[in-house]
């Protein structure tokens, strides 16, 4: 018997024939009515399953209905989420690890202040190269802008996918820092100077002292090379600190690294070369003396510098070595001595020159490192250079000072004037005047002072004039003038006496002091082919000047007639100490000097000098009490 259902199974059972009306009242959802009626009116046939196309259409219909429902639900949920989260911090946002997503801006700011504010004063760890140190945020001018930090998180996204993803992800936005750039820059520079920066250590060789002070022993040791570093970009470091000082509790700052040129192996090799050099003293052997350099002395002169290939180049600084041995070897050097023209009495003699010797330090220390590297025979010979004198004996002979070419003497000296003439003669004695040179008496003697042996005396040789230091020295000047005259030398300027003095030839005199004590210069020029040396001696009442050289001229002198006589004034004096005088007429006279060249016996020059002598007053001394008439 067949089981019947209220809802037929359209896929397996054939349509019942007895109740077509009943089924028509309950059509299946999604079935076309006309198609159903037509199917019911058909004669009963075996039931066939629906086609594949029908099944696809039915599945799509179901899918569309489900999708539509889901879309409506999604829109409703999105709208609700958008409405309820409007103005909040986006979900999933963290600031320095603090979750503030979904909070209102004010709540987020309060949360950040509560969580982060204690961290604002905590020291910040700075890692720069191989140095780890700390930076105080407050001292560096670092602080946090709370509002800007919250605003950096942005607003709720409108993109639905982004909103969905926020339920499952987080996003770190970091803080917004405030900084006093000047304070931060100074803090970083100070940190770099004190903690971060350190110089490169090049490989070197050092020395430890061993033994007593007098032993001078040392022990070499290696100074290992080490790289240096420095905070090169301070402005870049400021940006890194401002960005990560609160987010990252350890801030890495880049540094510039300087590597040493020498390697540890190169330094060790230099150490092995150094040990023999300071194993014992080195002896320098000079002319008749020795000097000793201790290992301590040697170590002070060794210099090491990086070389190519990572090694150390060894050099010797001989300056400290010279400083040690120079006093010990000083007596072995000889100064060169120049040849000199000296007067023995009133005659010139040549003191010959002598060669000298001086240590050649460069040549002496050139083989030092090789000698010091030996275990035995650590002796270093001292090398000497010959030093030639600046003035040789031949050069002095070449001056031609060999005979008297002009000589003159005067007398009548006494008292203080004689002392003054002797002092000036001593100052001029031995003077050498080379060809072409001009001799100035003032320039040579300088001021006439007591320290030079001058005393007070009347300015004029006859005892007249003011009492001055050096009074009476014009007698020496006139004596020198006549010697120069007879040698044929050229006059370069002189002044004759005011009154004629019989001590000197007419028109052949010269003064140094006027009656009032003022100075007058006398000069001559050596116009000869050879040098001229002055010999001046004073003793008793006289003074003599000789000029030595090579005679070149024969000199003849002629004096003209006296002319232009002028009667002297007569003075009658009634006073104690009056000195009578016969007086003298004033007159004009000339002198002519003719020079003949000895080689050719021809006239070589003629000079005429005219002098006007003033009259000397007649002094009549009256006895006291008589009228002067």
Whole-angstrom Cα distance, residue 337 to residue 530?
Answer: 23
Q: Looking at the DSSP assignment, which residues form a beta bridge with residue 572?
A: 620
pLDDT of residue 17: 44
User: Which residues are CB-contacts of 11 (< 8 A; sequence separation ≥ 6)?
Assistant: 49, 50
| pLDDT given at position 103 | 86
How high is the pLDDT of residue 169? 72
The pLDDT value recorded for residue 13 is 46
pLDDT value of position 6: 39
Q: Which residues of the chain have pLDDT under 50?
A: 1-31, 36-37, 40, 84, 628-629
Q: What is the pTM of this model?
A: 0.55
- Using one digit for the tens of pLDDT, what is the confidence trace for 439-484? 999 999 999 999 999 999 999 998 888 999 999 999 999 999 999 9
> Quick one: pLDDT at residue 81?
54
pLDDT of residue 30: 46
Nearest 5°: phi and psi at 444? -80, -40
Q: Burial of 151 by CB count in 10 Å (0-12 exposed, 13-18 middle, 19+ buried)?
A: middle
What is the secondary structure of 322-343 as a DSSP string?
HHHHHHHHGGG-B--B--EEEE
- Beta strand ranges found along 493-601 (DSSP E): 523-525, 532-539, 542-549, 553-559, 563-566, 570-573, 586-597
Residue 234: phi, psi to the nearest 5? -70, -40
Identify the sign of the CA torsion 468, 474, 475, 477.
positive
């Amino acid at each position: 018997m067949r089981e019947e259902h209220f809802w037929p199974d359209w896929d397996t059972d054939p349509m019942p024939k007895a109740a077509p009306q009943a089924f028509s009242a309950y059509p299946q959802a999604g079935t076309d009515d006309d198609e159903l009626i037509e199917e019911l009116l058909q004669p009963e046939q075996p039931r066939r399953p629906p086609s594949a196309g029908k099944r696809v259409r039915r599945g799509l219909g179901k899918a569309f209905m489900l999708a539509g429902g889901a879309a409506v639900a999604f829109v409703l949920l999105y709208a609700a989420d958008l409405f309820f989260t409007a103005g909040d911090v986006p979900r999933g946002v963290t600031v320095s690890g603090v979750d503030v997503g979904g909070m209102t801006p004010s709540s987020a700011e309060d949360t950040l202040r509560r969580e982060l504010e204690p961290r604002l004063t905590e020291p910040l760890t700075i890692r720069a190269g191989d140095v780890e140190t700390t930076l105080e945020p407050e001292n560096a001018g670092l602080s946090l802008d709370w509002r800007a930090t919250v605003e950096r998180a942005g607003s709720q996204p409108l993109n639905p996918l982004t909103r969905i993803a926020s339920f499952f992800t987080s996003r770190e936005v970091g803080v917004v820092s405030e900084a006093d750039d000047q304070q931060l820059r100074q803090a970083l520079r100070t940190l770099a100077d004190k903690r971060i920066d350190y110089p490169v250590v090049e490989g070197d060789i050092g020395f430890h002292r061993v033994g007593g002070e007098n032993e001078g022993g040392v022990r070499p040791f290696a100074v290992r090379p080490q790289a240096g570093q420095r905070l090169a970009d301070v402005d870049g470091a400021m940006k890194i600190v401002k960005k990560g000082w609160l987010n990252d509790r350890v801030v890495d700052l880049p540094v510039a690294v300087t590597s040493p040129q020498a390697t540890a192996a190169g330094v060790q090799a230099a150490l092995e070369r150094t040990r023999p050099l300071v194993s014992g003293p080195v002896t320098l052997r000079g002319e008749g003396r020795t000097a000793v350099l201790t290992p301590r002395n040697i170590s002070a002169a060794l210099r090491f510098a990086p070389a190519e290939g990572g090694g150390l180049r060894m050099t010797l600084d001989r300056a400290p070595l010279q400083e040690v041995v120079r006093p010990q070897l000083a007596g072995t050097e000889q100064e060169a001595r120049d040849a000199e023209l000296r007067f023995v009495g009133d005659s010139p003699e040549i003191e010959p020159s002598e060669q000298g010797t001086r240590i050649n330090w460069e040549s002496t220390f050139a083989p030092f490192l090789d000698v010091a590297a030996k275990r035995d025979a650590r002796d270093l010979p001292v090398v000497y250079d010959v030093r030639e004198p600046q003035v040789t004996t031949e050069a002095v002979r070449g001056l031609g000072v060999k005979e008297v070419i002009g000589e003159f003497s005067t007398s009548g000296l006494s008292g203080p004037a004689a002392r003054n003439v002797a002092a000036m003669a001593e100052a001029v004695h031995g003077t050498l005047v080379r060809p072409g040179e001009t001799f100035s008496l003032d320039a040579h003697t300088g001021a006439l002072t007591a320290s030079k042996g001058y005393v007070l005396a009347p300015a004029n040789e006859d005892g007249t004039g003011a009492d001055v230091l050096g009074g009476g020295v014009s007698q020496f000047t006139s004596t020198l003038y006549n010697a120069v005259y007879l040698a044929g030398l050229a006059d370069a300027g002189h002044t004759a006496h005011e009154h004629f003095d019989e001590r000197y030839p007419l028109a052949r005199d010269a003064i140094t002091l006027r009656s009032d004590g003022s100075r007058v210069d006398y000069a001559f020029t050596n116009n000869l082919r050879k040098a001229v040396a002055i010999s001046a001696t004073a003793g008793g009442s006289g003074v003599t000047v000789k000029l030595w050289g090579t005679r070149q001229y024969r000199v003849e002198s002629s004096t003209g007639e006296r002319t232009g006589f002028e009667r002297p004034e007569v003075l009658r004096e009634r006073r104690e100490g009056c000195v009578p005088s016969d007086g003298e007429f004033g007159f004009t006279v000339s002198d002519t000097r003719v020079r003949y060249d000895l080689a050719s016996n021809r006239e070589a020059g003629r000079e005429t000098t005219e002098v006007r002598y003033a009259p000397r007053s007649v002094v009549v001394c009256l006895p006291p009490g008589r009228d002067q008439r």
